[in-house]
Amino acid sequence: MSTTRMRHGSFLVGLSAVALAAAAILPVGVAAQDEVQRGGTLIVAADGTSFPANLNPAINTSNGAVYISGKVVETLAEMGTEGLEPRLATSWEGSDDGMTFTVNLREGVTWSDGQPFTSADVKFSAEEAWTVGQSLGRGVLANLDTVETPDPLTAVFRFSTPTPGSLIENALPFISAVIPAHVYQGTDFATNPDNELNLRPVGTGPFVIGEIRPGELIRLTKN
C-alpha cells in the first residue's frame, strides 16, 4: 500500500503502509461544511505495491501510475460526480455517420515549461501515444486514420470505418492524457518504457514532478 502527502504546495507519494486518517471516515458532507484548511499534511491510502517505473499516463493507464501523474498530465475530459466534465477540451461531438469526432480545446492553456497547448499536441498524443502504447487506446481508436488540426483549438478525429461517438466520449477520461509534442516528438518514449521522459512526464496540470527517490518517494511540486 502506498501513501500520499500534500504539504505547503507539494504532493508527496511514499511507498510505506499507513493507517487511514480519522477524517477519511467522517460522514459525507462534513468536510464541505468546514472552512477550507490550507497547509498541513494529507495522508491517503492508495493501491499499488511497487515503485512505478513509468508515470506517463498517455501510454500507461494503470492505477498506480495515473494516481500520481493525473496531477501532472491532464486529459481532454474527466469523470466528475455528475458525469463527464471538460478539462483540456471544452466540448466534443461525434458525427452522425461515425466517421469524425470533433474536439474543441480550452484557450490559454500552457505546458509547465511555458509553451502553449494546441491541437497539435492532441494530434501527436493520439497518433503517437494513445494508439501505440495503450491497449485501451488501440481498441477504442482502432479505426483512426488521422487527426486533423484546422486551427490551434480544434482537433478532428477521422476514422476509416464508423466509430460511435459515445464510445470515444466514454473513454476520454481513460485514454486522452495529452502530452506535449515539442517535448516527446522524435523520442522512443512509446516503445521504451525506461525512457526518462516517462518517469518525469511534462503536463498542463497543477503539479510537476519534483524529487524522485527510487523505491522511496516521488514529490510533486506546485506548477
pLDDT in tens, 122-178: 999 999 999 999 999 999 999 999 999 999 999 999 999 999 999 999 999 999 999
Note the pTM of the prediction, 2 decimals: 0.81
C-alpha to C-alpha distance for 149 and 151, rounded to whole angstroms? 5
Burial 167-201 (b: 16+ CB within 10 A, else e): ebbebbbbbbbbbbbebbeeeebbeeeebebbbbb
What residues in the chain have per-residue pLDDT under 70? Answer: 1-34, 42-49
Q: Determine the pLDDT at residue 141.
A: 97
Q: Determine the pLDDT at residue 88.
A: 98
C-alpha to C-alpha distance for 218 and 108, rounded to whole angstroms? 29
CA 146 to centroid of chain Cα atoms: 22
Question: Minimal CA–CA distance to 177: which of 45, 102, 65?
Answer: 65
CA 174 to centroid of chain Cα atoms: 8
CA 66 to centroid of chain Cα atoms: 7
C-alpha cell at 74: 491532464
Q: Determine the pLDDT at residue 204.
A: 98
Q: Determine the pLDDT at residue 12.
A: 55
C-alpha to C-alpha distance for 102 and 127, rounded to whole angstroms? 15
- Phi and psi, residue 79, nearest 5°: -85, 120
Q: Determine the pLDDT at residue 26.
A: 41
Q: Determine the pLDDT at residue 18.
A: 35
C-alpha to C-alpha distance for 153 and 146, rounded to whole angstroms? 16
Q: What value does the CA radius of gyration of the chain take, rounded to a whole number of Å?
A: 18
Q: Determine the pLDDT at residue 145.
A: 98
Q: Determine the pLDDT at residue 44.
A: 65
Question: In sequence order, which residues have a C-beta less than 8 Å from that of residue 14 and are 6 or more positions away?
Answer: 2, 3, 4, 5, 216, 217
Q: Determine the pLDDT at residue 19.
A: 35
